[in-house]
Amino acid sequence: MNLVLLGAPGAGKGTQAKRIEENFHVLQLSTGDMLRAEVRSGSPRGQQADALMKAGRLVPDEMIVGMIDRRLDRDDCRGGFILDGFPRTLAQASALDEMLAKKGLKLDTVLSIDVDDEAMVERISGRLTCANCGEGYHDSFKRPKIEGICDVCGASRFVRRADDNAETVRARLKEYHAQTEPIIAYYDKGGLVRRIDGMRSIDQVTAQVTSALKECVRAG
């Protein structure tokens, strides 16, 4: 199964993608994670992306499209993939259609996680991630079972993202509404979109996602 996860910053794409990976054995491809790895490596691409990400702006389409195009050719994508954070502009959506057609692949569904703007700032400002395995947490909504220890790998160092501050979140939300939201209508025309109410608890969102994906599998 190949799917796109759409949703504003902080909607829960990463949180749900990890659970879809486990439940449906498909691979998460997060363009945000790929770019943060490039920034850490200090590559020219990372340096170009760093300033834009810190300002809450999108990086150029050509950079992202090339990254995804190369990534989809790797063997670990054969069992299916979740595109988390891509496409984010209409140009990226149409580039994705072209590249999938060339590779003989198609999208099975597009899940749109819908969340009110007011919830985003609270979610993003409380987010923290295990520095070792990348498991995501939240100061209020998802705390580790043992304070200060990652549930998954037992590490004790957590990090916060450089773009997770109120000012940058507002810029990211603006980009989302201007550039990314129109993609929902683009995919709606092809009947691919399933809407998910992202204002529920994390587990309730997972339940909706799971039933949408089971329905997608049944529909073949």
What positions carry a catalytic annotation? 13, 88, 127, 161, 172
In the complex, what is the shortest distance from the CB of residue 6 to ligand AP5, in angstroms, rounded to a whole number?
10
Stretch that binds Mg ion, among 12-20, 44-52, 187-195, 203-211 (CB under 5 A): 12-20
- In this complex, which beta carbon is closest to ligand AP5, that of residue 90 or of residue 219? 90
- Partner from ligand AP5, Mg ion, none binding residue 183, C-beta < 5-8 Å depending on class: none
The two structure tokens encoding residue 49:
């992306």
> What's the DSSP call for residue 146?
B
CA distances from 134 to 39, 50, 114 (A): 16, 19, 24
In the complex, what is the shortest distance from the CB of residue 218 to ligand AP5, in angstroms, rounded to a whole number?
25
> What's the DSSP call for residue 2?
E
Question: Where on the phi/psi map is residue 154: left (φ > 0), alpha (ψ -120 to 50), or beta?
Answer: left
> What's the DSSP call for residue 147?
T
Q: Does 14 bind Mg ion (CB under 5 A)?
A: yes
List residues near ligand AP5 by CB under 6 A.
7, 9-15, 31-32, 35, 52-53, 56-59, 64, 85-86, 88, 92, 123-124, 126-127, 136-138, 141-142, 163, 172, 198, 201-202, 205
When CB distances to ligand AP5 are compared, the closest residue is: 32
Q: Does 9 bind Mg ion (CB under 5 A)?
A: no
C-alpha distance across the termini of the chain, in Å: 9
| 3 vs 7: CA distance, rounded Å | 13
- Partner from ligand AP5, Mg ion, none binding residue 201, C-beta < 5-8 Å depending on class: ligand AP5
Q: What is the 3-state secondary structure (H, E, C) of 72-139?
A: HCCHHHCCCEEEECCCCCHHHHHHHHHHHHHHCCCCCEEEEEECCHHHHHHHHHCEEEECCCCCEEEC
- In this complex, which beta carbon is closest to ligand AP5, that of residue 108 or of residue 122? 122
* Residue 83 parent element (H or E): strand 81-84
Q: Does 56 bind Mg ion (CB under 5 A)?
A: no
- Partner from Mg ion, ligand AP5, none binding residue 18, C-beta < 5-8 Å depending on class: none
- In this complex, which beta carbon is closest to Mg ion, that of residue 14 or of residue 198? 14
Residues that bind Mg ion (CB under 5 A): 13-14
